[in-house]
A and B are shown apart, each in its own frame.
Chain A
C-alpha cells in the first residue's frame, strides 16, 4: 500500500456515502462494498502506525497485527473493539453460506469503532 492510496478517513467517508445514497448502480452491492472500504480503512491506519514505528509488520496476518497493536496502543479496550469490528467487516466481505449481508445499522456501528481507531492512530 502506498501513500497515494486514499487516507483512512476518506475511505470511511466513501463507505458511509455508499450506505446513505440510494444508487441503482450500487443496489445490492453496497453492504459488501462499504464493508470492504471500512476494512481497508482499519488496515491502512494500522499500517501507518508500523510505518511510523519502522516496524515491518505490514506483511503479517492482520490478526497478528491487531494482537501486537495491544502492546503499542495504551487503549486495550479500543483495540479489542477494533479487532471485533475488523473481524466482523472481514466476515461481511466474504461469502458465507447461510449468512446474510450486514444491515446498515450494523455497518454503522462498526464504522464508529473504525472512526475512533483512525482518530487515535492519526
Chain B
C-alpha cells in the first residue's frame, strides 16, 4: 500500500465516524466504507406561508389571522410600534422553533411578557402550502393557561393525515440551517455575537457536517495517540529513576533496554518474564535460583550406596582364593603368554626356561585352556565388576560440581563449609578398601548434607531479598510496558493520521470555499444595493480558520483603505451587511422554506438605503415569498415610488389588544389606483384615455387572474416551478382569464360566455372593452371603466 493509499483509507474511515476510524487503525474494520451521505437533494418540497393566526400572544389579544398570498412576491406588513405586527413574526417563529433553546436565552422581560395581558387563551396556528401536498398543512402550538413558553404543545397536520408532532414536517434541521426568520434584534446581533457565531450561522448551510465530523475523528485519534506517547515517555522517565535506584541486575537490564531513543520492549518483556538471555547480570539470579534449588544427598540414597559398597566388598572377598579366582588369574597369565608367543614366535619358556616350550602345539593347547579357564573365572569377574561400580557410587551423590561452585562463589555465597565438606567427601576417590570407603561415605555424608542445606538456605534468603526489592519495580515496569506497547503501536499510526488530517483540512477548506462562493457573491451584490452612499466597500467574504479561531473574514475597505474593521461601520451599515448575508442564506435552493420573514429591517437605515432595500426585497421576491414587517412607512413609500410589486397590509391595534388588519395595497390595487388617477384627470385627451386606462385595467385583471391561478395550484401541491411555468406560458388577458376560470389556459373561447353567465352582462361588456385597444373608451367613460374593472377583479378574486 502506498503512503497515499495508507492515509487515504483513513480519510474514508474517518468519514464513517470515530468507530470507523479506530476500526481501520486497528485493522478490525475490514468492511468497505459506506458511501458518504449525499447532500440533501437540491430542491426539497417547498413551502409557502398561507396564513398566521395568533391569539393571546404578545401584542395580539383576540384571535387574528394574517392571510398571505402564497407564492413568490413581496408582502409588507406595516404598523406603528406596538401595533402587534411584530407579534405575528415572533408568533410564527415561536410556533416553528418554540422548543429551541434560543427562546430560553431571551431576556427575562421578554420571557415574562410573552402572553397577552388582555386575553387568557394562547395559541398560534399557521398554514402552509407545500409542494406535493394537496391542501394546506396546518401547524399549531397551544399553551395551557399557566404554561411556560417552552411548554407549549405543538402539532402538525399534513392534508389527509392524522395530526402528528412537528418533526413530521421534516423541517427540524432546515430551521436551524436556513432560518427563514430575521428580526431586528438578530440583524444587530448577527455581527455582534462574534466571528465564530457568524461562522457557525453561515457554515451550517454548506452541508459540511460530515467533513467536520471526520476532521474531528481524525483529530481525536491523533490527539489520543500523541497523549498516549507523551504519557508513556513521561512514565518512562519516572520508571528509569526508579530502576536506577534499584539494586537488582534485572533493573539494570530493563534500564539498558529503554534508556535509548528506541525502546527495546521485547527485551523488557523477557526480563519481566524471568527468561532473560544469559548474561552476566541475569546469570546471578539464575545461579542463585540454581543454588536455591539444591537438595542435600538423600540419606536413603547414601545408605543404599554404602550398603552396596559393603555388599560388593563381601562378594570380592568370597571370590578370592576360590578356583574361580585361580582360573581367572591363570587365564590372564596364559593370555599374556599367548600374546608373547604371537609376538615373538616359538622359543624357550621365558618363565621356567624349558627349551622350545613355546611352539605351535603349545599355542593350540593353551588357547583351549584359556577358554576353559575363563568360563571357570566368570564368577570372580562379576564380583570384581560389582566392586569397581560400587567404588564410583560416591561421585553421583555430589550435587555441586566445580563450575557450579565457581559461579556460586562469584555471586558472593559463603562456600567455606561446603568446600570443607566436599574436600572430605572427595577423599573417597583415594580410598582403595571398599570397607573403608563405605565407612568414609557414611561418615562424610552428614556434614556434606548440612553444608549444602546451609548454602541453599543462604541462596534462598538472598534470592528473597532481591525479589522483595525487584517485585514492586517489576510490577511498575510491567504496567509501563503495557502502556508503552500501546503508545508505540499508536505512534506508528501518527504519521498516517497527520497526513490524513492535513489532506482533509485542505480538501474541506476547498469544498467550503466552493460552496460558499455563490453565497458570498450574492451577499456582495446585495450589499452593493444596500450600501448606496456608504464609503464602505465589501470585497471577498470568506469562512476561514477552524476550531476556536473560525471566523467570517469580511474584506472591508473604507474609502479605498483596506483592512478596515467592522468597527468603522455605522449601525445602519452593520444591519445592511447582516441582511446581505442573511438573504442569500435563507434563499438557497436546498431550503424547504419558500418564504422569508424579516422583522423591521428598516430601523436605523438611511433613506437612500431604504430604496436599496426595496430593490433587494424585490429581487428576492421573484422566486420567494418575502414577508416584511415594518414600523414606519419609509419602506412602503419606497416600494410605491420604485414601482416594486408588493402587497401592503396595515396593522392597527385598538384598545385591549384588538388588532385590525387591513389590506392596504396590492399590485392589483396599484394598477387600479393608477388607472383611476389617469381617468380622473380633468382635460384628459380622449386618445390617451383610450390607450392608457384600458391597458392599466387589463394589467389589474391579469394580476388578479395570476393570483387566483397561483393560489389554486400551489394549494393542491403543484411544484412551484411548474406553476410559474404555466403562468409564464399564458400570455395575454384571455389565456390568464381562462386559467383563472377553468384552470386551463387553452379555453379562451369560453371566457366571455362564462363571465356573462356567472357575473352578468355588464362584466362581460367590461371585459370586451378591455380587450378593445382600438378605442371606444373616451375620457368621460374612463372612470366608469375603472370602477367596473374593480368589481370584476373582486369577483375574480373570489373564485376558488
Contacts and interface: CB of A to CB of B under 8 A. Distances in A.
Interface of A: 55-57, 59-61, 63-64, 67-68, 70-72, 80, 83-84, 87-88, 99, 103, 105-106
Contacts of A99: 607
Contacts of A68: 678, 688, 691-692
Contacts of A67: 674, 677-678, 692, 696
Interface residues of B, number: 21
B642 interface: yes
B607 A64 contact: no
A93 to B, nearest CB: 15
B162 to A, nearest CB: 50
Interface in B660-681: 674, 677-678, 681
Contacts, number: 53
Contacts of A61: 677, 681
Contacts of B677: 61, 63-64, 67
A84 B678 contact: no
Q: Which 9 A-B pairs have the closest CB atoms?
A: A80-B643, A71-B692, A68-B692, A67-B674, A60-B681, A64-B681, A105-B533, A84-B642, A71-B691
B433 to A, nearest CB: 139
B685 interface: yes
B262 interface: no
B721 interface: no
Interface string B621-660: 0000000000000000000011100000000000000000
Contacts of A72: 691
Interface of A is mostly: helix
B695 interface: yes
Contacts of A55: 685, 687-688
A106 B533 contact: yes
B266 interface: no
Nearest to A68: B692
Given A68-B692, A80-B642, A87-B641, A56 B685 contact: yes
B684 interface: yes
Contacts of B607: 99
A67 B677 CA distance: 9
Contacts of B692: 67-68, 70-71
Interface of B: 532-533, 607-608, 611, 641-643, 674, 677-678, 681, 683-685, 687-688, 691-692, 695-696
A63 to B, nearest CB: 6
A95 B642 CA distance: 21
B643 A84 contact: yes
Contacts of B683: 56, 59-60
A60 to B, nearest CB: 5
A30 B570 CA distance: 27
19 contacts: A55-B685, A56-B685, A57-B684, A60-B681, A61-B677, A63-B677, A67-B674, A67-B677, A68-B678, A68-B688, A70-B692, A70-B695, A72-B691, A84-B642, A84-B643, A87-B641, A99-B607, A105-B532, A106-B533
Interface of B is mostly: helix
Given A70-B695, A83-B643, A84-B641, 4 more contacts: A64-B677, A67-B674, A103-B608, A106-B532
A83 B692 CA distance: 16
B641 A88 contact: yes
A67 B607 CA distance: 24
Contacts of A87: 641
Nearest to A88: B641
A31 to B, nearest CB: 13
A77 to B, nearest CB: 9
Nearest to B534: A105
Of A68, A71, A72, A105, which is in contact with the most chain B CB atoms at under 10 Å from its CB? Answer: A68
A70 B691 CA distance: 10
Contacts of A59: 683
Nearest to A83: B643
A106 B533 CA distance: 7
Nearest to B638: A84
Nearest to A56: B685
Contacts of A80: 642-643
A72 B685 CA distance: 14
B533 A103 contact: yes
Contacts of B674: 67
A83 to B, nearest CB: 6
A74 to B, nearest CB: 13
Contacts of B688: 55, 57, 68, 71
A57 B533 contact: no
B458 to A, nearest CB: 107
A59 B682 CA distance: 9
B568 to A, nearest CB: 19
Nearest to B690: A71
Given A59-B683, A71-B691, A106-B533, A64 B678 contact: yes
A79 to B, nearest CB: 9
A60 B533 contact: no
A55 B689 CA distance: 11
A8 B533 CA distance: 27
A104 to B, nearest CB: 9
Contacts of B643: 80, 83-84
Contact of B684 (A60, A71, A106): A60
Contacts of B532: 105-106
B533 to A, nearest CB: 5
A30 B674 CA distance: 33
A105 to B, nearest CB: 5
A59 B642 CA distance: 24
Given A68-B692, A71-B695, A57 B685 contact: yes
Nearest to A105: B533
B624 to A, nearest CB: 21
Nearest to B608: A106
A113 to B, nearest CB: 11
A64 B696 CA distance: 12
A61 B681 CA distance: 8
Contacts of B678: 64, 67-68
Contacts of B642: 80, 84
